[in-house]
Amino acid sequence: MSLIIKNGRVVTASEDFTGDIFIEGETISSIGKDLQYPADQIINAEGLLIFPGGIDPHVHLDMPFMGTFSSDNYESGTTAALHGGTTMVIDFILQTQGKSLYSALEEWRGRSDGNAMCDYSFHMAVTDFNENTRREIRDLVEKEGITSFKTFMAYKGALMIDDRQMIGLMNEVRDCGGMVTVHATNGDMIDYLVSKHRAEGKLTPLYHYLSQPEITESEAAGRFVDMAYHTGVRSYIVHLTCEGALNQVREATMRNQKVNVETCIQYLLLDASLYENDNEGAKWVMSPPLRQKKDQETLWAGIQQGLVQVVGTDHCPFMWEQKLMGEKDFSKIPNGHPAIEHRMELLYSEGVKKGRISINKFVELTSTNAAKIFGMFPRKGNLGIGADADLVIFDQEKKHTISAKTHHMNVDYSAYEGWEVTGKVSSVVSRGKIAVSDGKLNVAKGHGQFIARKTI
């Protein structure tokens, strides 16, 4: 099958021109003006934008957490991703303490294989680093194409590892050419504050936020950055939220250290005042929590300064009934919120349309940088000859309103209910197939493939 997209404004991380894209099979075959190739399908994109399909490197699909599971599985979560212009996700495998990394991989493959609508890959979250798990890392990198290893400095007693394990993991991953990523908040401080607030009868969602003050993130970020500097491992901080943590990264550049940084769309747009609503505050209970207005300003500035390279989602939805597990105790509220479908449209509307970022920076943040950092470029995140034909056709002027009534995520509320957005996905092409057009899904379950990644 072949497809030609005519007369669109083609935007990449470095280019911006009007032209045509010819696709044969699953890859881009030619790009230029007035292409005359015969094609099985033709899309006239005049007046519309064409940019690389989004890559969301931080999602949690069908994830076990606090006695329940996130409500989007691979089918529903990747369906929602496609509707929002995201054609590739990277999910997190969570090792069970006491078990092997490979046993966790098999568990996640059981959820993903044959169920994904868009392409996907995995990060491996190491929650129990020991001699046995150390020996698995090279095979995961070289045989499985899993090159990034997640660590938690929080969730004490469940996912958290100590600094000794962190250093050991960093050394092994460095020697294998991989990357260590981190949830950087101080688990001991948070555990103490949670216990203190519960003992004092302070149990509303506001105290989730107050149990994780900015210092818990900035301290852990600085400690991680120092350990990464000492070991020389490639490093990446997930969902960075605040001024203090970003300043730790900024200071690291003074010694010529490179730290990759991701923030998430919610930290750019939402703030901690939402937790003051006792009835609905649970909607925004996530870790790290939402921060202050000054932190939003810092993150937007960090994007412009090149300190923040990626905007993801940390998509981890729970039904309202699940959130109500913590109705009388904030510490029992499942952490996470739904965003996989709205990341790109929100960032375009609030970033590009409001002059905070350029359209080329938008492509970097939503696609190209993640492809480069995680070893998928130029196959992904790229509108180039030979690249996978993953692209979005986008109506930059179309206005719409976000609502749980119209989204495709398997969750019964929206964190952005009533949010007016300018710019909407018109069509999505995934590996040469028109996956979404005019709001209709056109690919079958299992279209999405696992993407093995390379070391950098």
Rounded to 10 degrees, the C-alpha dihedral 256/260/264/268 comes to: 20
Q: What is the pLDDT of residues 231-278, one digit of tens each?
A: 999 999 999 999 999 999 999 999 999 999 999 999 999 999 999 988
Every domain of the chain and the residues it spans: 2-51+387-397+419-441, 53-373
For tokens 């010819």, name the residue: 22
Assess whether the previous peptide bond of 288 is cis (omega < 30° from 0).
yes
Contact 422, 399 (CB under 8 A): yes
- Above pLDDT 90, what percent of the chain? 98
Alpha-carbon distance of 401 to 338, in angstroms, equals 16
Assess whether the previous peptide bond of 378 is cis (omega < 30° from 0).
yes
Q: What is the pLDDT of residues 102-159, one digit of tens each?
A: 999 999 999 999 999 999 999 999 999 999 999 999 999 999 999 999 999 999 888 9
Contacts 24+ apart (CB under 8 A), 295-300: 295/214, 295/241, 295/242, 295/243, 295/267, 295/271, 296/267, 296/268, 296/269, 296/271, 298/242, 298/243, 298/246, 299/240, 299/241, 299/246, 299/263, 299/267, 299/268, 300/268, 300/356, 300/357
Alpha-carbon distance of 53 to 34, in angstroms, equals 23
DSSP 117: S
Using CB atoms within 10 A of its CB, is residue 215 exposed (0-12), middle (13-18) or buried (19+)? middle
Pairing of strands 41-44, 260-264: unpaired
Sheet order of strands, 119-125 included: 54-59, 86-94, 119-125, 148-152, 179-183, 234-237, 260-264, 310-312
Specify the CATH superfamily of domain 2-51+387-397+419-441. Answer: Urease, subunit C, domain 1 (2.30.40.10)
Alpha-carbon distance of 207 to 282, in angstroms, equals 11
Alpha-carbon distance of 335 to 416, in angstroms, equals 17
Distances (CA, A) of 195 to 124, 234, 334: 30, 35, 17
- Predicted confidence band of residue 336 (pLDDT cuts 50, 70, 90): very high
Alpha-carbon distance of 23 to 29, in angstroms, equals 5
pTM: predicted TM-score of the whole model, two decimal places: 0.97
- Looking at the DSSP assignment, which residues form a beta bridge with residue 20? 32
Q: What is the pLDDT of residues 401-452, one digit of tens each?
A: 999 999 999 999 999 999 999 999 999 999 999 999 999 999 999 999 999 9
Tokens representing residue 200 in the block: 């004092």
Rounded to 10 degrees, the C-alpha dihedral 421/423/428/434 comes to: 110
For 142, the 3-state DSSP assignment is helix
C-alpha triplet 400, 371, 138: angle, nearest 5°: 140
Q: What is the pLDDT of residues 279-328, one digit of tens each?
A: 899 999 999 999 999 999 999 999 999 999 999 999 999 999 999 999 99
Q: 223-246 burial string, b = 16+ CB within 10 Å, else e?
A: bbbebbbebebbbbbbbbbbbbbb
Number of helices (H), then strands (E), belonging to the chain: the values are 14, 19
Contact 174, 143 (CB under 8 A): no
pLDDT exceeds 90 at position 175: yes
Q: What is the pLDDT of residues 43-59, one digit of tens each?
A: 999 999 999 999 999 99
How much is the pLDDT for 65? 84
Alpha-carbon distance of 350 to 422, in angstroms, equals 8
C-alpha triplet 291, 293, 298: angle, nearest 5°: 90
Task: Collect all residues with Cβ–Cβ distance below 8 Å to 114 and sequence separation of at least 6.
Answer: 445, 446
**Among the four given CATH numbers 3.40.50.720, 3.30.70.270, 3.40.50.620, 3.20.20.140, the one describing domain 53-373:** 3.20.20.140
Q: Provide Rg for the chain, Cα atoms.
A: 21
Contacts 24+ apart (CB under 8 A), 324-327: 324/282, 325/66, 325/67, 325/68, 326/205, 326/282, 326/285, 327/282
For tokens 């101080």, name the residue: 186
